[in-house]
Amino acid sequence: MRFITKYYKECRIAFIKSAFFVIGLCVLFCPTFVIPESEGENMFVVKLNGKEVGCVGSSEEAGECLKNARAEIQKENEDLVFVKTEISCESKESWFGKTDSKSDVISKMKDVMMSDRIADRKTAYMIKVNDFTANVESAEAVTDILQAALDKYAENNPYRVELVPDPDREINVLTTKVVDSTKQINDQTQTFTAGFARAMHDMDAESEMRLRMSFDDFDYGLVDISYDDKVEVIETFVSPMDLMASDQAKEILTKDQDKPAIYEVKSGDTLSEIALDVDIPLDKLVEMNSELLEDENSPIRVGEELVITVPEPELSVGRKEEIYYEEAFDAPVEYVYNDSWYTTDSAIRQQPSAGYRQVAAVVSYHNDRVTDTDILKEVDTISPVAKIVEVGTKAPPSYIKPISGGRLTSGFGPRSRPTKGASSYHRGIDWATPTGTAVYASCAGTVARAGWGSGYGYVVYINHEDGRQTRYGHLSKVLV
């Protein structure tokens, strides 16, 4: 039996008031308690790299804690620290949930990041040439590697490579600049006469000067050198395990490797000559072009493109050299045109004789391959004798089949004797046709003979302009 005093109602009211008062104090002085809401997700369990690091009131608060944790780690370490940070927030609704303080969440985040820190990384420089990349330890190593590519083609090379900002890139990317260390840069501004007139004047003056110069006056040697491939250098941070030794990078960039290329067939080319020129075995050349060539005897046509391989380094170099040389040379062939001859007729009127000359020239190279020659001065010590050829200009006559239809019964050339005593070499072509089939001249000409001929029956002989004669035998009648 419950005992009830006369003050029961007053005590109950006082108890309720006290409870509300205590709740109000808790809300006011205990901010780590989340105010219950009637709806919505109001608590977030934070995980970093899959590990729980605390509970916060919003995803924005979790992001702020991560930012502060990173800043504190960087402040506590002199070297760069690379950490893995994969954060996730799992939301939920709670009426009386407790959140962790920011300092506790930041501390736990720091512990997780340091335990999961990526191995120490070093400042490095990445060299990128075409599809090749290499990470080396310093900018000095980069220039040393790139310099080796230049020195491969020039002894006592005065040209030096420098790293400069790439004007075509917005991010911090470096590229190369090759400078002549022997030349002094003149910063004085000079005023020149502009325009075409000045350019022509300079060209004329240079030509006159070359004519007055002897071959000993030219400054032979390397004129210019540069990279034919785009070189990019980027500062980065890598693991020591990802660094490449300078000697290894030099070998890869400068060593010749077989690279695919295209050879366009020119007039006069043969497969065997092409194979010799590009230094590829003939059977391998056929194999590389199996879609175009069946075997070593397959025909090739002018303009066709053959796949070949050429030895080239990963980093190609272009250069110009001023050189002196002597050579034998032929004069251009001279043609005498005869309007009374056909284009198929020709005759040599004078045999050629090679000349000999001294030459000073600027020769352009792509690696070791000559791409262009600019003659500066040349003197013929022995004049050549040109080959003179007389050729015809008239188009030769064309011949057509003299009948329409017909069945070929005997071709031109060797055959079995059709009758005893007949020739085994047939000097004509036989067609079987119905009697009365019209026979026309194969080409315009003059009738030389018409009538009955032994062995041919009714026959017609026609002489043509090119000196040939056609014969039409076994006719049923002659209509000329």
Provide DSSP, 12-79: HHHHHHHHHHHHHHHHHH-TTBPPP-SSS--EEEEEETTEEEEEES-HHHHHHHHHHHHHHHHHH-SS
Query: What is d(CA 340, CA 301) in angstroms, rounded to the nearest whole number?
Result: 31
User: What's the confidence (pLDDT) of residue 191?
Assistant: 42
309-362 confidence digits (pLDDT tens): 888 899 999 999 999 999 999 999 999 999 989 888 899 999 999 999 999 999
- State residue 189's pLDDT score: 39
Question: 413 is in which domain, residue-wise?
Answer: 407-475
Bridge partners of residue 86, in order along the sequence: none
50, 81, 115 — which closes off a domain? 115
Q: Is residue 23 part of a domain?
A: yes
Query: Pick from 52, 82, 115: which residue ends a domain?
Result: 115
pLDDT at position 2 over 90: no
Other C-beta atoms within 10 Å of 306: how many? 22
CA proximity to 244, closest of 174, 145, 176: 145
Q: How many domains does the chain have?
A: 2
Strand partners, 180: 159
**392-429 confidence digits (pLDDT tens):** 998 888 889 898 888 888 777 777 667 666 677 777 88
- pLDDT-based confidence at residue 239 (cuts at 50, 70, 90): confident
Residue 109: partners with Cβ closer than 8 Å, 6 or more residues away: 48, 53, 65, 66, 69
- Domain presence at residue 420: yes
pLDDT in the model for residue 118: 67
In this structure, how many other beta carbons lie within 10 angstroms of the beta carbon of residue 141?
A: 21
In this structure, is residue 274 part of a structural domain? no
What is the 8-class DSSP label of residue 213?
A: -
Over pLDDT 90: what percentage of the chain? 35
Q: Which of 153, 161, 148, 154 is nearest to 233 (CA)?
A: 161
CATH of residue 416's domain is 2.70.70.10
State how far the Cα of 304 lies from the Cα of 29, in Å rounded to an integer. 90
**Is 71 among the domain residues?**
yes
Q: Write the DSSP symbol of residue 147.
A: H
Instruction: Give yes or no for a contact between 181 and 160, defined as CB atoms under 8 angstroms apart.
Output: yes
What is the spatial distance between Cα 466 and Cα 460, in angstroms, rounded to a whole number? 18
Residue pair 361/415 in contact by the 8 Å Cβ criterion: no
Identify the H or E element spanning 140. helix 139-151
Is the residue at 170 inside a domain? no
Paired with 359 in beta bridges are: 325, 378
pLDDT tens track for 176-211: 999 987 774 444 434 444 454 445 545 556 666 666
Distance CA 395, CA 278 (A): 38
Average pLDDT, the chain: 83
Q: For position 461, what pLDDT does the model report?
A: 95
Residue 424 within any structural domain of the chain? yes
3-class DSSP state of 162:
strand
Is position 359 within any domain?
no
Q: Which domain-ending residue is among 87, 115, 143? A: 115
Assigned domain for 26 exists: yes
